[in-house]
């Protein structure tokens, strides 16, 4: 929040569904647990996990950029 006016505008905002917290859970929720059973493979997949999380967050940033109805620093995007 940059100014007191931003705080007063968002004070009454009640957003219940802010989306899923993807950090560290993308591959665990979508891939079979058998794949994570081997430690070497699990280490490699954890690196992919960080990369996939980065991509999801950048897509949210692009959605905010092209949505002209919200400010550029809006973070409550699903």
What confidence tens digit (pLDDT) does each residue in 6-30 have?
666 666 667 776 677 778 888 888 8
Domain membership of residue 56 as a residue range: 21-78
3: left (phi > 0), else alpha (psi -120 to 50), else beta?
beta
DSSP structural state of residue 31: S
d(CA 74, CA 36): 36
d(CA 25, CA 34): 16
In a domain, 50, yes or no: yes
Q: Give the pTM.
A: 0.63
In a domain, 74, yes or no: yes
- Render pLDDT for 21-62 as a digit per residue (tens, 0 to 9): 778 888 888 888 888 888 888 888 888 898 888 988 888 888
Q: What phi, psi does 21 have (nearest 5°)?
A: -80, 105
């Amino acid at each position: 929040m940059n100014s007191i006016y931003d705080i007063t505008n968002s004070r009454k905002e009640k957003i219940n569904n802010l989306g899923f917290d993807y950090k560290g859970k993308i591959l665990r929720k979508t891939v079979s647990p058998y794949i994570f059973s081997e430690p070497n493979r699990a280490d490699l997949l954890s690196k992919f996990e960080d990369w996939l999380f980065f991509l999801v967050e950048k897509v949210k940033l692009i959605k905010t950029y092209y949505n002209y109805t919200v400010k550029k620093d809006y973070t409550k995007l699903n």
